[in-house]
Structure 1
């Protein structure tokens, strides 16, 4: 169980760290757009759409990384001060009852939407836009898969903690990640 959780965590860690570089790229592209528009009087719909694509990829592909690092907004009235075993129960139930089923629902609903986009090689509605909207929509499926996998990792780690695994209990208590 730990090996699977570690593999999922490693995978989402790599994806998260990779897509984080898109934030820098967004700044650079936006700088180019501003220089092009205000210094040279040139506009680029393609570059403007690229910023939207990159932001979507950061958000959708980085969500599981954020979950792995407990960075999502949580109403933690009870969670923050709860004992490690209570946190493990909350994480287990949250993953199995809420997170994974919602991810499966997203996959089920988004699959035809994304496949239709691929079937017609959907592109931008703008004449000079990016001719690959299907890639942007595919991020929806990737989001659901990555989040479900991270939910599975959380569930496995919660089970280990509930079985008395000291490393997982320490992590839930606020120890090392």
Structure 2
């Protein structure tokens, strides 16, 4: 049977959404395994019981859902699919921004009150002592603020990290003013700058990729036609981009001692006793980076294949408008 352009588009769309669905199943399994104590999908073939089988079944279920989603919209174009993936990514980045904004401000206030001896008079000895433990502060302060951040992201439309850049400057300016004007500086102030700057750098990467703002050596690429660029971007998105993201996710979330899961499980903090208790969240930033970049690479893959096929409606990036 001859393959039509429509069938090729369906195959491309199915591949892209299946990759994202498998990633979602992987993340769900990570949470179920390390936070809820389930045996893991790998244990399904080693006597792990019904729970392990259910976890393993998440992967074919996710793939089936992706195929069904594509089949129910047979006339959707690749550029429309790219926009859908980008819209999903915008929400993820927006939610991450609000989470780090609220958690950063909340933890900085608690750290300020604690280092200046004001926490106990305001909240009592018991609660002040509890807030000095990273596990308690993480569960009872960071988690509620994080959920509030996700809720705010659901009803707002701004990406947010543009404002995060301003907040980084404001936090650094506060350090300068307090140090040289009031001779006051504490560890939590520098922690807040690092916390927000790390979020800005990693959360904005997917948006920068979409606008082709990353530095690239394009001695050959710049002179290519749009179709040739589409071919290069399509292969690069999968073989270089998606592969990098999978490497980060698998190595960072493969065990309890992995670089992402490990700090999150124990609410890891820095050695400075009166700094902010957010080091474990900064390890999670790497996971957010991998997830958002994966989604954006799939979006770019759709867009690149559309360019390769000369589909109408090509998007003009910021670099092309300069």
- Give TM-score, length-normalised by structure 2: 0.51
The partner residue of 1:163 within 297, 309, 312 is: 309
Matched, 1:86 2:209: no
- Structure 2 unpaired stretches of 5+: 1-77, 95-158
Matched, 1:4 2:150: no
Q: Shift in Å at residue 162 of structure 1?
A: 2.0
The partner residue of 2:271 within 100, 106, 125 is: 125
Q: Looking at CA atoms only, which structure, 1 or 2, has the larger radius of gyration?
A: 2
Q: Residue 167 of structure 1 aligns to a residue in which SS?
A: coil
Q: Residue 161 of structure 2 aligns to a residue in which SS?
A: helix
For 1:115 and 1:28, the matched residues in 2 are separated by 31
Q: Shift in Å at residue 20 of structure 1?
A: 2.0
Which consecutive aligned stretches of 4+ in structure 1 deviate over 6 angstroms post-superposition?
none
Q: Shift in Å at residue 133 of structure 1?
A: 1.1
For 2:80 and 2:271, the matched residues in 1 are separated by 45
Matched, 1:115 2:246: no
Matched, 1:33 2:175: yes
**Which residue in the other structure is 1:134 paired with?**
280
| CA deviation map 1:108-140 (0-9, x unaligned) | 111222211121111122111111211111010
Residue 269 of structure 2 contacts residue 277 of structure 2 at CA under 8 Å; is this kept in 1?
yes
Q: Residue 259 of structure 2 aligns to a residue in which SS?
A: helix
Aligned-residue Cα RMSD (Å) equals 1.9
For 1:106 and 1:10, the matched residues in 2 are separated by 23
For 1:153 and 1:130, the matched residues in 2 are separated by 36
For 1:126 and 1:7, the matched residues in 2 are separated by 43
- Give TM-score, length-normalised by structure 1: 0.90
Q: Shift in Å at residue 78 of structure 1?
A: 1.2
Between Structure 1 and Structure 2, how many residues are aligned?
174
- Specify which structure has the bigger relative contact order, considering alpha-carbon pairs within 8 angstroms and separated by 6 or more residues: 1
**Which residue in the other structure is 1:103 paired with?**
245
Residue 79 of structure 2 contacts residue 313 of structure 2 at CA under 8 Å; is this kept in 1?
no
For 2:300 and 2:308, the matched residues in 1 are separated by 12
Q: Residue 85 of structure 1 aligns to a residue in which SS?
A: helix
Matched, 1:24 2:101: no
- Structure 1 unpaired stretches of 5+: none
